[in-house]
Structure formats: structure tokens, C-alpha cells
Amino acid sequence: MEILHPDTPAGLAEALAAAGAARQRIRLGGAFTKNRMGGPVGPADAVVSTDRLTRVLQYEPKDLTISVEAGLRVAELNRVLAENRQMVPLDPPFGAQATVGGVLAANCTGPRRRLYGTGRDLVIGMKFATLRGELIQTGGMVVKNVAGLDMGKLLVGSFGTLAAMAVVNFKLIPMPPETGTFAQRFETAVDLLEARDRLVRGVLQPAAVDLLNPAAARRVGLDGFVLLVQAGGNRAVMARYASELTRAEALDDGIWERVREFTPEFLGEHASGMVERRWSTLEGMRAVMELKEPVVARGGNGVAWVYHANGETYRGAGVMEWGPEDGTGRAAGWPEPGAELDVMRRIKNMFDPAGLLNAGRLYGRI
């Protein structure tokens, strides 16, 4: 199969236009770390990778903004930013290889979203390439901007089914002077969620509020139902967390890499493994935390990931976010879409009437 590696945004637009004109089905990606995500992925005639779009185009630390090409690895982005004690705190899985464009297209999020938000909150502008060969600008390089439709929101989480991100502009977050990680352990999910409630209803503003059930905790070297908290601030703030989170164990921040890479490690061990994403209110998380399968949840956001060793334990409560290596068992990937799916299909049709781009990536529905 033909693999194209354009190295400029214009080249990316040309590659899409050429493939589109030839009616080739296109598999679009960055580092292709997420081949098992969002499928079942349809067949393709050509592969377009953004992996050579790796330049930092504009970075003015005093403006707290950066503009980068979509193929830049998130790890490299944060390495550049760390020189000025700044960050884009997305914390995606496959953190070492994943590209900016891939992480945003898949809307991968991480533990610190409780405080810093997700891709939709951190992106302030974008250039994307369409099948018509255009480079479309949306947003810009300032943190507050309502000129024109916010098409960037639509591209984030679109799995490359509409267009290809070429350039992404972020707002930047200053790193806190210090960070600390705290773990509290509980016997039951009820106790765990009560502790979570006390935390999020109080005045502390932790960056991350993660929940692990015992099966998940074991995989990262902990035990019981675990409330895992990360906070940032000065020394006095850290001391405050230590005193208010009663009976909490202070852990090394390194535990977060285990949490962030939980999905890649699980999938690496289970060729027929699946990862289900469930969404609920904060109050609605008890049932999912009590499952026997490993469960990692963003306790401050109501999102949980359930790790199935194979398809037998999946009951169709959420979407099948990651599937088996061979692509089977994915028919019910998005069980119950509502009337909004029709609007989504009309948008897809506007961008890609022949259905050439990343077919099947939206859980087989788009």
C-alpha cells in the first residue's frame, strides 16, 4: 500500500486532494499508535501520515501560546515547553510516541483534565487540510477569540473522518512550583466515592482525581479501592493537601505514568482485549467501580474505562473505545446513538461525500 509522508501543511493538503480525486480510501494518522481505537476500521487504498510535520512554528513563552505542526509528538512538545516551565497537560496514552494531531483527533485525555480541561479547552486555533486540497484556518494565536465558527471543536474527537489537522495552536499552562501525589485506600466503592465527594465538594482544587478499583489498583502496584490525587502549588499548598487528605499515602509522581499507560499496557498483554469507555454523572459511578474487571476512572469528570480481557464481559453499556487486534467483535461499538447522529452524518457528508477518510473510525457509525 502506498504510504505518503507529506512534510508541509500544503503537502498534506495536496496528498489528500490527490487521493480524493483518485477516489482512494485513505487511512489517516500520525504515529498510528491507536490502530485499535474507535473501529472497526475499514479497508484503505492509501495511508497518509503526518509524522513528518514536526516543526514548532511559533512559540512566544510570554504570550503563553504555541503553534506546532500536527505530527509533532506530544512528548516533544512538552519537552520544548518545559524549558520555560510551561505545559500542555493532555497526558495521553502512548505518551512517548503519540502525536499532537493523533491525540486530538482521538480526543485522548488524561488525569489532569479535572483542572486543566481536555483538547477542546486547550486548543485555540488550527489549520486543517480537506479532501478538496484546501487548508482551512479556524481560531488563531490568542486565547480569547470568537471570530468565525469554532470548527476546531469539531475536529477534536473526529478521528480523522472529516479532515486532517496540519497545524495546532495551544494555550499554555504554567507549571506549578511543586506537585504532589496522594493515594487514599478504601474497602468499598461506596467509601471511595464518599471520599471523592468530600474532595470535589471542598475548596481544594486538585489537578487529578482518579479512581481505581482493586483489579486496576493491583496492576499499578497498589491495592483496594484507590483515590489517586495530584495537586500543584507552593509548599504551603502541598502541606495543606497532606493534612486534609486524611490517611493518604504520598506517592511519587511516577505513578501517573502507570495510570496514563494503563491502556497501552493492557492491550499489549491482551491481543483480544477491549477497553470500554463509560460516561456518567459523578453520582452515577458506583456500578462501574464495582465491576470485577479493572476499572480506571476520572473521578472528577464521570468518565470510566473498563478493561475486558476479551469480548465476553462487555455488556454494551458504553462505547468500545479500544478493540481486539484482529478487529473482530466490534459491531456494537456505539450501541445507542441518538438523533444527533443524523447531524453528524450530514457534516461527514459535507466534508467527505464519498466516505474516503478513516472509514469506520467513529465506532462504525460514521
If the CB atoms of residues 218 and 286 are measured against other proteins, the closer one turns out to be 286
CA–CA separation, 366 and 353 (whole Å): 11
Nearest approach, Cβ of 24 to other proteins (angstroms)? 22
Does position 83 bind other proteins by CB under 8 A? no
Residue with cell 486565547: 143
Does position 197 bind other proteins by CB under 8 A? yes
Nearest approach, Cβ of 249 to other proteins (angstroms)? 21
CA–CA separation, 135 and 129 (whole Å): 5
Q: Which of residues 134-173 bind other proteins (CB under 8 A)?
A: 134-138, 140-151, 153-154, 156-158, 162
Nearest approach, Cβ of 320 to other proteins (angstroms)? 10
Residue with cell 516533544: 76
Q: Which of residues 11-40 bind other proteins (CB under 8 A)?
A: none
The three cell numbers of residue 175 are 507549571
Task: Identify the three-state secondary structure at position 257.
Answer: helix
Residue with cell 478513516: 358
Nearest approach, Cβ of 78 to other proteins (angstroms)? 16
The answer to whether the beta carbons of residues 101 and 164 sit under 8 Å apart is yes
The answer to whether the beta carbons of residues 232 and 178 sit under 8 Å apart is yes
Return the range that interacts with other proteins (CB under 8 A); candidates 91-99, 215-223, 254-262, 338-346. Answer: 338-346
Return the range that interacts with other proteins (CB under 8 A); candidates 39-47, 72-80, 88-96, 344-352. Answer: 344-352
Q: Which of residues 34-73 bind other proteins (CB under 8 A)?
A: 60, 62-65
Residues in the chain: 366
Q: Which of residues 224-283 bind other proteins (CB under 8 A)?
A: 233-234, 236-237, 239-240, 277, 279-283
Nearest approach, Cβ of 221 to other proteins (angstroms)? 27
What is the maximal distance between C-alpha atoms in the chain? Answer: 64
Q: H or E segment at 340? A: helix 340-351
Does position 355 bind other proteins by CB under 8 A? no
| # chain residues binding other proteins, by CB under 8 A | 77
Q: H or E segment at 227? A: strand 225-233
Does position 354 bind other proteins by CB under 8 A? no
The answer to whether the beta carbons of residues 140 and 125 sit under 8 Å apart is yes
